[in-house]
Structure 1
Amino acid sequence: MKEIYTIKDAIKKIEHYCAYQERCHEEVESKLRSMKMDSDEIDQIIAHLIKDNFLNEERFACSFARGKHRIKHWGTIRITNELKFRKINQRLITTALKEITVEEYFDTFEKLAQRTWENTTETNTLKKRKKFCDNLLRKGFESNLVYEKVKELENAESVK
């Protein structure tokens, strides 16, 4: 039997949900739908969450960008696409990406590229290149960065 929530109960539950981790409107809305709230109640609850600062799309976007870059080592392309998927507007995405400094971005890219290259245990050079490039492109790094880096690493390897 599914629980039926009053607005008061739903607000309490959803405040806890938002306090635990930054959430975007989309996540909160789908959580409320799963709690069988109707759209008027959802609007009312979301308005309450915004007013009481439990829900802040800009804060979410910035925290998401920082976290995904520092912890999962995602590039800007992947972060941008994931934020768009969560219906975050372009202005907030741009603001969020400013959370990652250029130095930090390139530092992360360099370390990740180096580690990926060293851990790719492919003997066929073409296959190794492909695996390396696919991995970094999937992480959301810009193709020009990836292709320049693969050439640089190949040349360094052939010199050894």
Structure 2
Amino acid sequence: MVKKQTYTLEEAKRKLENYCVYQERCHKEVRQKLQEMHMIPEAIDVIIVHLLEHNFLNEERFAKAFVRGKFSIKKWGKYRLTSELKKKDISKTNINQAINEIDDENYYNVFNHLAQKQVLSITDKNKYKKRKKLADYLLYRGWESDLVYKKVNELIP
């Protein structure tokens, strides 16, 4: 029989402080981690308040770091970024603040580069299939549909 690890309140606080220091976390991730540690709801609330008071947990900072990272590394568009943050229960205000930090010029440059790179990798000879593949790829990555269809028409006339 496997013995479940138990933690005192102080041990759990230290463990979660390290968890938050390692990488920005949202409230939902921290709550989930505490539940996995089999902490009681009252202890979870005490620990989350402690993390907030000592600035280990900051939803605004998390949203901005998330958007920066996913935009620059995964090349996600604003729709995908917004929906992923909503899944993490981030407030609309924090989502908008984070999204607005993306420089418009950089946003369109990344989009154009991504579209041109992708169109070269599509080997389909059928123009309509090629257009659909490009559009699907860009829409899946969360780019706005008006941008996507304009670019598809431009790159595959």
Q: TM-score, with normalisation over the residues of structure 2?
A: 0.97
Give the match for residue 158 of structure 1: none
Q: Once the two structures are superposed, what CA deviation does each residue of 1:19-68 show, in whole Å capped at 9, x if it has no partner?
A: 00000000000000000011110010000000110000000000101111
Give the match for residue 102 of structure 1: 104
1:81-100 correspondence runs (5 A): 81-100=83-102
Q: 1:106 is paired with a residue of what secondary structure?
A: helix
Q: Once the two structures are superposed, what CA deviation does each residue of 1:60-93 show, in whole Å capped at 9, x if it has no partner?
A: 0001011110000000000000000100010110
**Hey, what's the Cα distance between the residues in 1 that align with 2:68 and 2:87?**
17
Q: Which amino acid aligns with 2:21?
A: A
Give the match for residue 135 of structure 2: 133
Sequence identity (%): 51
Question: 5+ residue gaps in structure 1?
Answer: 156-160
Q: Once the two structures are superposed, what CA deviation does each residue of 1:86-133 show, in whole Å capped at 9, x if it has no partner?
A: 000101100000121101110110110000111111111111111110
**Hey, what's the Cα distance between the residues in 2 that align with 1:121 and 1:12?**
53
Give the match for residue 71 of structure 1: 73
Give the match for residue 23 of structure 1: 25
Give the match for residue 149 of structure 2: 147
Whether 2:34 is the aligned partner of 1:49: answer no
Q: Which amino acid aligns with 2:131?
A: R
Q: Which amino acid aligns with 1:40?
A: E
- Report the number of matched residues: 155
**Structure 1: 4+ residue segments shifted above 6 A:** none
Instruction: Give the root-mean-square deviation of aligned CA atoms.
Output: 0.7
